[in-house]
Chain A
Amino acid sequence: MFLLNLKIGFFLALRQIRRANVWTTGLIVFVMVLTFLNLVVVSGILVGLIEGSIAAYHAQYTGDVIISNLNNKKYIEGSPNIITILKNMDDVKSFTPRFSTGVIAEANYQTKKDTDKANTASAQLIGINPLAEDEVTGLSNHMLEGSYLTPNDYDKILIGYFLLKQYVTIDSPDFSALEHVYVGSKIRLTINGVTREVTVKGILKSKVDTIRRGLFMVDSEARELMGRQDNNVSEIAINLKDGVDPITFKQKLLLAGVDKSAKVQTYADAQPQFLKDIVNTFATLGNFLSSIGLVVSSITIFIVIFINALTRRKFIGILKGIGINGKAIEISYIFQSIFYAFLGSAIGLVLVYLVLVPLFRAHPIDFPFSDGILVAPLAGTLVRMWLLIVSTIIAGYIPSRMIVRKNTLDSILGRN
């Protein structure tokens, strides 16, 4: 019986759709497309902003796994041991040890008058092996001006563009930047009372804070500046070979006892807290906006089907009058709803994957801490499509049922 109703419902739906007004159908499908885009794109962009940031942080700073000093220590004690362990692990593709310390950078000290305030900025000085660092994070790809460090550079630094007045428009009391500093300019670094004059070799641009606010120097000289005799480093960023799971690798390091003298984190663990918080907030926000879209489209479909069924009430009565099962008539409206939802979703899918995703990839949204892309994993999109179809079915079923259940004869004669 159900199958028969399904067959008759389909028979009726097909002919109603085929002979429906093109503009009405077009309008309904258009609403469905917009709803679909609302479901997928709004949250996809919100998530994409964060994903872009996470990806940048992963690629440009932490690598797949990062080992850093314990919270109560200045350095990773026994660093050479850990480096030896890493060298002997098959999973490791490349790694880069870093020394890091806070410095005060000062510019324009030569032209400064006694009454002038010193032009200083506090920053993090990071000592790197330029080759290893470039292999892990591709730091040399982020040169805005000037050139990258070579291992033999002495008294040369790379400076993040957020430390330079000409690149930052922010002017707030607690934010200081260096003025008139270009490639070739000299600046003074002060660490623990020791001052050193260095030359700017290049300017770095990135959306990752540690890079755009950092000062990079060859590691041997940085150690000397810091007055360090030991070989202990501040952090080691590690890239793994393709297919190696960072979590599994982290477990191996823990088994090797690395966690006794250092903190071991995967790139996901090491995300800045604000990103972790924002991911959840944005996901909630995205779902909230999507839900509103879903409700709006459900109501739209409800009204469309209701009006459609109401204006066709006489014919629904005739159908029942000649013996067509009410269920079959309801099913015909469900089929129509499915048709709208499917067509809308299909057009939406094409738009998302063939137009919007490539478009956002080519032209990411310039967000202060990331290049926002559109993240729309197929599985998630299909779930949303399914949601849309289910809500449409319900929205189409209820009004058709309301009309179909009315008294047959009253419907035929147009009585109330």
Chain B
Amino acid sequence: MIQVKNLVKSFKDGQTETKVLKGIDFQAQQGEFIAIMGRSGAGKSTFLYQMSLLDFPTSGEIIIDGEHSHNMTSEQKTNFRLTKCGYVFQDYALLPELTTIENVVLPLLMQNINKKDAYQKAKEALVRIKLGHRLKNLPSQLSGGEQQRVSIARAIANHPKILFADEPTANLDNESSQAVMDFFLQLHKEGQTIIMVTHEEQYAKLAQKIVKIDDGKIISQIQN
């Protein structure tokens, strides 16, 4: 599904060059549920951005669903994110002037799914994540946990090949966190490929594999 070979990412700021990812080799199979762990600043988010094609690496290769990322134009990458990735951002990243259902339906409409089906799918995703009663609310009228769930519904509404989630439970209380993790497990059972960054051991243990990153390198990969 995803193959990463000798991935390097560095940031140049004038004279100083910061190497954040220092040669990562990694792969994920179809249907796998992988947790990525590591200290703050280890490079977890950066790694996720590279794999989801939100960013491009300094060197190295990313082959995703059989395609080499460096061969893609930026428009193709956008389209790839639209059709094959779901991405749950660390800070929800909802659009403030769109209601709950509009936030979820937008990527579906962009895929040229007809309006009725798109709204139907969006509603299903939201009902599934227990937000069926908040369809017409704006993000500002939702709690943090609810916003995170909208963000997840948006990511999974069209059944993407891969779901990326960057600390989906970071801002949630235990109960909400547990609900999100239960949902991920359920998706995983249905065959969803999930790559999730998390700080919390208890949630990482729910995944099939835990990948530990430190100082820009993978230091261990443990099969649960």
Contacts and interface: CB of A to CB of B under 8 A. Distances in A.
Contacts of A323: 78-83, 85, 107, 110
Contact of A11 (B80, B85, B109, B154): B109
Interface in B135-181: 138, 154
Interface string A305-345: 00000000001001111111110100000000000000000
Interface in A204-232: none
A16 B97 contact: yes
Contacts of A11: 106, 109
Contacts of B97: 15-16, 18-20
Contacts, number: 68
B70 to A, nearest CB: 16
Given A16-B97, A319-B95, A324 B82 contact: yes
B109 A321 contact: no
Interface string B57-82: 00000000000000000010011111
A340 to B, nearest CB: 17
Contacts of B83: 323
Contacts of B96: 19, 315
Given A15-B97, A315-B96, A412-B89, A322 B107 contact: yes
Nearest to A20: B97
Interface string A1-29: 00010011001100110111000000000
Nearest to A317: B93
Contacts of B206: none
Contacts of B94: 318
Contacts of A322: 81-82, 87, 93, 106-107, 154
A320 B52 CA distance: 12
Choose among B81, B93, B95 the residue with the greatest number of A CB atoms under 10 Å from its CB: B95
Nearest to B83: A323
Contacts of A16: 97
Interface residues of A, number: 24
B55 interface: yes
B221 to A, nearest CB: 26
Given A15-B98, A322-B154, A409-B49, A8 B54 contact: no
Nearest to B45: A413
Nearest to B98: A15
A7 B87 contact: no
B223 interface: no
Given A323-B83, A408-B54, A318 B95 contact: yes
B224 interface: no
A321 B82 CA distance: 8
Contacts of B98: 15
B95 A325 contact: no
5 contacts: A4-B112, A15-B97, A322-B81, A324-B82, A324-B106
Interface of A: 4, 7-8, 11-12, 15-16, 18-20, 315, 318-326, 328, 408-409, 412
Interface of B: 49, 54-55, 75, 78-83, 85, 87, 89, 93-98, 102, 106-107, 109-110, 112, 138, 154
A-B complex: 5 closest residue pairs judged by Cβ atoms:
A323-B82, A19-B97, A323-B81, A318-B93, A409-B54
